[in-house]
Amino acid sequence: MGSLNWHFTVDQYRAVQHIPLNETGRHADRGGPGDMYSIGIEMGEVRSHNPIVTWNRSAKLTAVLMKQYHIPLRNVVPHYYWTGKNCPAPLLTNGRPGHKWSWFISRVDYYRRCLETRPAAAL
């Protein structure tokens, strides 16, 4: 059985952690700085699931991790940032960050701001 080399998988129902955050994943750029210094979050793309719910759950997880590890919003980047890969494809525009990625980042920022006034469990 192969191992999962990213930190979290998120779908519309849950977020599951696969490896500890202090463990280097193999999720971004084949052992480069993306793997060494980032947290890998995979968003499940299941046809029967509502992608907006998955993206919102991913944004919430991202906001919680940002708060816990003091990660600035500018450091929240798509896989595209590390490799030029069209990933996450549903949130990129013509294979690059655009208005859909901006929408996702605005959701992350919204949940980050919510955490300033509410505990993470309330999200």
The pLDDT of residue 121 is 61
Rounded Cα distance, 90 and 54, in Å: 11
For every one of its 123 residues, what pLDDT tens digit does the chain have, with 9 covering 90 and above? 356 799 999 999 999 999 999 999 999 998 899 999 999 999 998 888 899 999 999 999 999 999 999 999 999 999 999 999 999 999 999 999 999 999 999 999 999 999 988 666 655
The pLDDT of residue 123 is 59
State in Å, rounded, how far the first CA of the chain is from the last one. 34
The pLDDT of residue 90 is 94
The pLDDT of residue 47 is 86
The pLDDT of residue 1 is 37
Rounded Cα distance, 3 and 79, in Å: 20
The pLDDT of residue 119 is 63
Report, in angstroms and rounded to the nearest whole number, the Rg of the chain calculated over CA atoms. Answer: 14
The pLDDT of residue 84 is 93
